[in-house]
Amino acid sequence: MSRENSDKSGKQHIRLRFYEELNNFLPPHQRKMEFVRTLPEPTTTKDLIEGCRVPHTEVDLILVNGESVTFDWMVADGDRVSVYPVFESLDISPATRLQERPLRNPRFLADVNLGKLARFLRMAGFDTAYRNDAHDDELIEQMLREDRALLTRDRRLLMRRVVQKGYLVRADRAADQLDEVLRRFDLKSIVRPFTRCMHCNARLEQVDKAKIENRLKPLTKRYYQDFSKCTGCGRIYWKGSHRERLDPKISEILSVSGPLPDR
Ligand SMILES: [Zn+2]
């Protein structure tokens, strides 16, 4: 690939095109077409793409003049850059995929606006940290320390270089958000309903009815035999309670068969 700089002013003229839903991040006049970015100096693909307000965590494949490159590739004058999102079902190997999918270690960190999504992810069995008072820097620090994928609605947060795994949540309803996250990280086949406490994120373990009988309401005691207890906060869960409270979409994702929460 030519690395020559043909513009005597030193300016870099880069031809760019974004594909599929990445266009939603762009202003209308740049959508679904090639446009030119003029930069004062050579830059990385990450900075070029995020200069167009597209977080790097949303990008799975970058082609520069037809060859797949990573986020630290330096683009130069005259380059033609094509940027693709995470495809649900397109085999793009042997090109370099930039996002891990499915996640080998599906652990999440939900930002302060995604509390309900965090509870649904836990309900589906995924380790999901959440605090409603965390500042951006604290979130980033926890994400790194605990090796979690960051879920947020703040695209600036996802543009930080240290964020390797993350996702910009689009939907407004938490049930739709859960569906989105499971699709994005290809996790639907490993959903494990009701193995984790939706309140505190600790694991649930089976518990003998006799040991917790004194905590059950009379009807629960009469109709249910199988119970789980949270190893963190001690809440009791059982199969079949409060099923009607679940959104139909959540019920479908979880194919409700495990114990439901007691409250
Ligand atoms: Zn708990």
CA 248 / ligand 1 centre spacing (Å): 24
Q: What spacing in Å lies between the alpha carbon of 197 and ligand 1's midpoint?
A: 5
Can you name the residues that pair with 40 across neighbouring β-strands?
none
Ligand 1 center from residue 221 Cα (angstroms): 21
* Residue 163, φ and ψ in degrees, nearest 5: -80, 110
| DSSP category for residue 230 | E
Per-residue pLDDT at 165: 94
What is the per-residue DSSP string for 82-115?
Answer: EEEE--SS---TTS---S-SS-SS-EEEE-TT-H
Where exactly are the structural domains of the chain? 12-85, 107-190, 204-261
pTM here is 0.85
Measure 233 CA to ligand 1 centroid, in angstroms.
4
Segment among 30-39, 53-62, 239-248 with least mean pLDDT: 239-248
- Tell me the mean pLDDT in the region 31-39: 96
12-85 CATH pick, 3.10.20.30, 3.40.1010.10, 3.30.1360.200, 3.90.1150.10: 3.10.20.30
Residue with tokens 């009807």: 219
Q: Nearest 5°: phi and psi at 251?
A: -60, -40
Q: What is the pLDDT of residues 75-110, one digit of tens each?
A: 999 999 999 998 765 566 667 788 887 888 899 999
**Residue 237 CA to ligand 1 centre (angstroms):** 10
**pLDDT tens per residue, range 214-261:** 999 898 889 888 899 999 999 999 876 555 467 788 888 877 545 555
Side-chain-facing half-sphere of 48: CA atoms under 13 Å:
35
Cα-to-centroid distance, 165 and ligand 1 (Å): 26
Q: How far is the CA of 219 from the centre of ligand 1 (A)?
A: 23
Q: In Å, how far from its chain's centre is CA 174?
A: 13
Q: Residue 142, Cα to own-chain centre: how many angstroms?
A: 16
How many CA atoms are closer than 13 Å to the CA of 43, on its beta-carbon side?
A: 17
Is residue 246 classed exposed, middle or buried when 0-12, 13-18 and 19+ CB atoms within 10 A define those classes?
Answer: middle
Mean pLDDT of 102-119: 93
